[in-house]
């Protein structure tokens, strides 16, 4: 059974305000249901933006060396998980694996 995802807003996984979800299928194999994703509306976007603004204020007060350490760790995780992330992107979007590997590499 495919996973049903929620919105991550203010550090919490929350259902969309609409209560509705849409299915995302692998374009190369439409029998392969990647997952069910929130069909969010303006209320969800507004809540996420408010949360992002609060987070930005906190992040801005974080010393640069600490921010650098966090970003370095994110880069390390992307390197460690590059193949899995690229595979998931290929499954979801239908891009060729070489291209999604490049997309992940750009993020690193």
- State the pLDDT at residue 26: 97
Contact between residue 24 and residue 35 where contact means Cβ atoms under 8 Å apart: yes
Q: How confident is the model at residue 51 (pLDDT cuts 50, 70, 90)?
A: very high
| pLDDT reading at 92 higher than 90 | yes
pLDDT above 90: residue 47: yes
pLDDT digits (tens, 9 = 90+) for 19-43: 999 999 999 999 999 999 999 999 9
HSE of 107, CA atoms in CB hemisphere, 13 A: 18
Look at residues 39, 50, 32, 43 and name the one whose alpha carbon lies nearest to residue 88.
32
* E strand spans, the chain: 7-9, 12-14, 21-26, 29-38
Across the chain, mean pLDDT equals 97
pTM of the model: 0.83
Asked if 97 contacts 87 with a C-beta cutoff of 8 angstroms, the reply is yes
- What average pLDDT score do residues 78-82 get? 98
């Amino acid at each position: 059974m495919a996973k049903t995802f929620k919105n991550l807003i203010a550090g919490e996984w929350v259902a969309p305000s609409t209560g509705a979800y849409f299915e995302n299928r692998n374009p190369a194999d439409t029998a392969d249901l990647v997952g069910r994703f929130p069909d969010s509306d303006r209320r969800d976007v507004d809540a996420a933006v408010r949360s992002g603004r609060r987070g930005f204020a906190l992040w801005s007060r974080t010393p640069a060396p600490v921010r650098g350490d966090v970003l370095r760790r994110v880069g390390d995780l992307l390197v460690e998980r590059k193949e899995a992330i690229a595979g998931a992107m290929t499954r979801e979007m239908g891009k060729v694996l070489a291209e999604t590997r490049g997309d992940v590499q750009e993020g690193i």
